[in-house]
Amino acid sequence: MKTTTLQKMTFDDLPQVLASAQRAFHYPWTFEMFRDALMAGDEGWLLLKEEQLIGWGLIKNVLDELHILNFCIEPAHQRQGYGRHLLAALIARAPEAKTALLDVRASNFSAIALYEAAGFRPMGCRPGYYPAARGREDAILFSMPLTPAAAGRQYA
């Protein structure tokens, strides 16, 4: 993992990030969603290994909250610890935040396992939030305290 680097995402990276999202998600963000996030000032980060894209994430700072908007490891590189590493790196980008927040599809067991292992806990549900093959799917909201005493600050 020491050989990976974190690089700020720019508009020029979006074609590559979009292609990655299309490989990793059944319902990927569109180009416009990525573009609008960057235009709104949200931070995107690329996880690179020898200039190869391993994963990426987008975060938004709202007062003392860190919102993890989207997050992905390339399918070919999953289950090698990169997701845990990138999640920690994204959290470390917001040293002033007191809480980290995210939402995830109720059926996304791999992401839920990662978030729970990292210290996130479920705090609510948005019924029918996501499109799905049959109708809609719930979003589970997760949060993690980032106070210095909290386990999450091991990432800072």
108 binds ligand COA (CB under 6 A): yes
Rounded Cα distance between 95 and 100, Å, is 11
114 binds ligand COA (CB under 6 A): yes
Is there binding between residue 110 and ligand COA (CB under 6 A)?
yes
CB 119 within 8 A of CB 152: yes
Q: Give the per-residue SS3 of 34-87.
A: HHHHHHCCCEEEEEEECCEEEEEEEEEEECCEEEEEEEEECHHHCCCCHHHHHH
Examine residue 83 and tell whether it contacts ligand COA (CB under 6 A).
yes
Instruction: Name the one range near ligand COA by CB under 6 A: 43-51, 77-85, 90-98, 134-142.
Output: 77-85
C-alpha closest to that of 4 among 67, 43, 48, 42: 48
CB of 21 to ligand COA, least distance (A): 8
Determine which residue in the list 90, 104, 140, 144 makes contact with ligand COA, applying CB under 6 A.
104
* 3 state DSSP class of 97: coil
Residue 117 near ligand COA by CB under 6 A: yes
Residue 4 binds to ligand COA (criterion: CB under 6 A): no
Binding site for ligand COA (CB under 6 A): 24-25, 71-73, 78-84, 104, 108, 110-111, 113-114, 117
